[in-house]
């Protein structure tokens, strides 16, 4: 079974530039998550999709971050414009549903450096 795919793996941009990350979840998984992981901290949930609808985006900085999940499969996360503090690893995860016993499967992440 193929895992969660993410691209690119690494990205370096200057502040105020825009960047986009792509995620392809495990086939058949209805729930997709984007996390931000700053160095030395645990991942923080940014947004959760159930199929192509948003379930939770309470921690997404909506003035600069946006995400979409077209057709309930692939997803993109965009930052525009980027700030220095956005330097982090962006992780995508997916699960069959969203319940207290579901396993989340994580991709390898995209490491973003903002200069």
Partner 1 sequence: DAKTTQPNSMESNEEEPVHLPCNHSTISGTDYIHWYRQLPSQGPEYVIHGLTSNVNNRMASLAIAEDRKSSTLILHRATLRDAAVYYCILRGGGSNYKLTFGKGTLLTVNP
Nearer to partner 1, 17 or 56 (CB): 56
Residues engaged in binding partner 1 (CB under 8 A): 4, 40-45, 48, 55-56, 91, 93, 98-109
- Identify the CA nearest to 3 among candidates 21, 29, 37, 40: 29
Task: Work out whether strand 19-24 and strand 105-106 pair parallel, antiparallel, or are unpaired.
Answer: unpaired
Backbone angles phi, psi at 67, to 5 degrees: -145, 150
Instruction: Output the six-digit token pair for 100.
Output: 């207290």
Q: Are the C-beta atoms of residues 41 and 107 closer than 8 Å to each other? A: no
Nearer to partner 1, 33 or 65 (CB): 33
Q: Positive or negative, the Cα torsion across 106, 48, 40, 110?
A: positive
Q: How far is the CB of 64 from partner 1 (least distance, A)?
A: 22
Q: How far is the CB of 1 from partner 1 (least distance, A)?
A: 14
Instruction: State the minimum distance, in angstroms, from the CB of residue 113 to partner 1.
Output: 15
Closer CB to partner 1, residue 14 or residue 38?
Answer: 38
Q: How far is the CB of 16 from partner 1 (least distance, A)?
A: 28
Nearer to partner 1, 82 or 107 (CB): 107
């Amino acid at each position: 079974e193929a895992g969660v795919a993410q691209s690119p793996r690494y990205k370096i941009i200057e502040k105020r530039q825009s960047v986009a990350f792509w995620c392809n979840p495990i086939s058949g998984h209805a729930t997709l998550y984007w996390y931000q992981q700053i160095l030395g901290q645990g991942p923080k949930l940014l947004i959760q999709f159930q199929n192509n609808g948003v379930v939770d985006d309470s921690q997404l900085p909506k003035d600069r971050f946006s995400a979409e999940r077209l057709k309930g499969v692939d997803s993109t996360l965009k930052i525009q414009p980027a700030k220095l503090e956005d330097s982090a690893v962006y992780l995508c995860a997916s699960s069959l549903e969203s319940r207290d016993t579901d396993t989340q499967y994580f991709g390898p992440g995209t490491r973003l450096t903002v200069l």
